[in-house]
Amino acid sequence: MDARHADGSAGDANYSVIGSGYAHYRQPDPQIAALVNDLLGDAQTVLNVGAGAGSYEPTDRAVTAVEPSASMRAQRPAHLAAAIDAVAERLPFADDSFDAGMATFTVHQWSDLRRGLAEMRRVTRGPVLVMTCDPDELDRFWLAHYAPEVIAVEARRYPPIAAIERALGANVQTLAVPIPLRCTDGFGEAYYGRPEALLDPGARLANSAWSFVDPAIGERFVAALGRDLASGDWDRRYGHLRVQPYFEGSLRLIAGGPPG
């Protein structure tokens, strides 16, 4: 179940290939971080699972980070605590060890979602937050027109929101997260109003879905988008997005309250 890649990556994505530019392209977005921070409430101790390079980790609370990939652990900035090498499905902590738990852009990579979230629930006294994408809403993004294969990969990987809600148990609330136009966290939809940015291979690589499709699909995407940008076709269809301050796409924050 916990098959690992060479650098320890535990999920379906291999971060020894993807990971080296991740932190550059995936800076936590301040507006999204503020939402996460609000939902963490007054928690003083926070567990971050699938922590990667530390995006969205609060800096004013005691954070314990769990991250199986060595490449991702190496990208954690010096001001954050070193991450523990472990997986969600088997957390090396006693019951009720933390005030709150968080897992951002990671549950779709876990080998056992229910077990991972049950583990987070077990070791956390208060809220458990999951930030993820709703697989039923991915085609709101214009990428569906240019690279439907990438959207299809994502739709297969992201667990249904209802499955996450069920696994989190009591007092669950799910929020649609508005994505800001200048979103600094380069997940796919972050580029909804800045199509040129997705022509950069590094920006695509920082989204693991691209690593699951044939490189020819990336090349076809770049050619087609480049052509439509040059001819004005993209702007005729989607140009309003260049100035739309927020995009409501597939991004969701699911907060499961303390049990009972």
Ligand X SMILES: C[S@@+](CC[C@H](N)C(=O)[O-])C[C@H]1O[C@@H](n2cnc3c(N)ncnc32)[C@H](O)[C@@H]1O
- The minimum distance between CB 140 and ligand X, in angstroms, equals 20
Q: How far apart are the first and last CA of the chain?
A: 31
Is residue 161 part of the contact set for ligand X (CB under 6 A)? no
Is residue 221 part of the contact set for ligand X (CB under 6 A)? no
Strands 45-49, 251-256: pairing is: unpaired
- The minimum distance between CB 98 and ligand X, in angstroms, equals 15
Residues 6+ apart with CB under 8 A from 125: 96, 98, 99, 258
Is 210 or 234 the residue whose CB approaches ligand X more closely? Answer: 210
Tokens 């004013």 correspond to: 60
Is residue 109 part of the contact set for ligand X (CB under 6 A)? yes
Residues 6+ apart with CB under 8 A from 156: 135
**Is 118 within 8 Å of 165 (Cβ atoms)?**
no
Sheet (strand 62-66) strand order: 62-66, 45-49, 100-104, 128-133, 251-256, 172-176
Q: Where are the alpha helices (DSSP H) in 40-160?
A: 70-74, 113-123, 143-146, 148-157
Interacting span for ligand X (CB under 6 A) from 48-56, 168-176, 190-198, 251-259: 48-56
**110 to 149: interface string for ligand X, x by CB under 6 A:** xx--------------------------------------
Give residue 245's identity as a one-letter amino acid code: P
Is 64 or 109 the residue whose CB approaches ligand X more closely? Answer: 109
Is residue 68 part of the contact set for ligand X (CB under 6 A)? yes
Integer Cα distance of 9 and 238 in angstroms: 37
Is 34 or 223 the residue whose CB approaches ligand X more closely? Answer: 34
Q: Which parts of 70-89 interact with ligand X (CB under 6 A)?
A: 72, 87-89
- The minimum distance between CB 234 and ligand X, in angstroms, equals 27
Is residue 56 part of the contact set for ligand X (CB under 6 A)? yes
Other Cβ atoms within 10 Å of 219 Cβ, number: 11
Q: Which parts of 172-191 interact with ligand X (CB under 6 A)?
A: none
- The minimum distance between CB 89 and ligand X, in angstroms, equals 6
Is 111 or 244 the residue whose CB approaches ligand X more closely? Answer: 111
Is 143 or 251 the residue whose CB approaches ligand X more closely? Answer: 251
Contact pick of 36, 40, 46, 51 for ligand X (by CB under 6 A): 51
User: What is the b/e burial string over 223-251, where b = at least 16 CB atoms within 10 angstroms of the residue's CB?
Assistant: eebeebeeeeebeeebeebeeeeebebbb
Binding residues (CB under 6 A) for ligand X: these are: 9-11, 15, 26, 49-52, 55-56, 66-69, 72, 87-89, 104-106, 109-111
